């Protein structure tokens, strides 16, 4: 099901009129700012939020991102008691994103630490035209134009009540 990318009635009362106008302008310029990456629909995996976020941020195909992150995970010394078929897609972005980006030939991927703030506050103060991956406790989400997207789909920050109250631990952006 495709969601309409507008500011919902729930989000309107939380924002100032100029913020609403800015987000509506960004949504009009890019009517579907957040889409799941190409190749995602057929995976059926549940714990793959970091792979979805990585593929969306870098613009690569989901399968290519998954292959690169899996290869990055295999280079680290760790207990690999599971095989690829049993792997749910979980990874550690701080360890796997940069090697995967290098393997895919993606340049400009940067990790940033941020001061402690909730997702809804971070979304209010960030550039709506910029694509950003937010890391919260054990979850990764992509943010653009007031919309959050993970493997469940895309919806306004105010509609993601539980996620919008979590604290951002770090962000990933494409620079250059």
Give the model confidence (pLDDT) of 60-80 as tens digits. 999 999 999 988 888 876 655
pLDDT > 70? residue 18: no
The two tokens of residue 85 are 């078929």
Tell me the per-residue pLDDT of 93-138, one tens digit each, with 9 for 90 and over: 888 999 999 999 999 999 999 999 999 999 999 998 899 999 998 8
CA–CA separation, 70 and 64 (whole Å): 10
Extents of the domains making up the chain: 9-174
Of 151, 52, 38, 136, nearest in space to 97 by CA: 52
CA–CA separation, 128 and 155 (whole Å): 14
39: helix, strand or coil: coil
């Amino acid at each position: 099901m495709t969601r309409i990318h507008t500011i919902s009635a729930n989000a309107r009362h939380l924002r100032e009129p100029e913020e609403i106008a800015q987000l509506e302008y960004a949504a009009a310029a890019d009517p579907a700012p957040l889409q799941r990456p190409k190749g995602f629909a057929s995976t059926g995996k549940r714990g793959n939020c970091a792979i979805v976020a990585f593929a969306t941020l870098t613009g690569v195909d989901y399968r290519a991102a998954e292959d690169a992150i899996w290869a990055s995970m295999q280079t680290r010394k760790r207990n690999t008691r599971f095989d690829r078929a049993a792997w749910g897609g979980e990874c550690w972005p701080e360890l796997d994103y940069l090697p995967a980006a290098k393997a895919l030939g993606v340049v400009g991927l940067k990790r940033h630490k941020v001061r402690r703030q909730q997702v809804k506050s971070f979304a209010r103060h960030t550039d709506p035209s910029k694509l950003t991956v937010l890391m919260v406790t054990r979850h990764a989400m992509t943010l653009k134009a007031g919309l959050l997207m993970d493997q469940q789909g895309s919806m306004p920050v105010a509609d993601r009540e539980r996620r919008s109250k979590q604290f951002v631990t770090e962000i990933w952006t494409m620079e250059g």
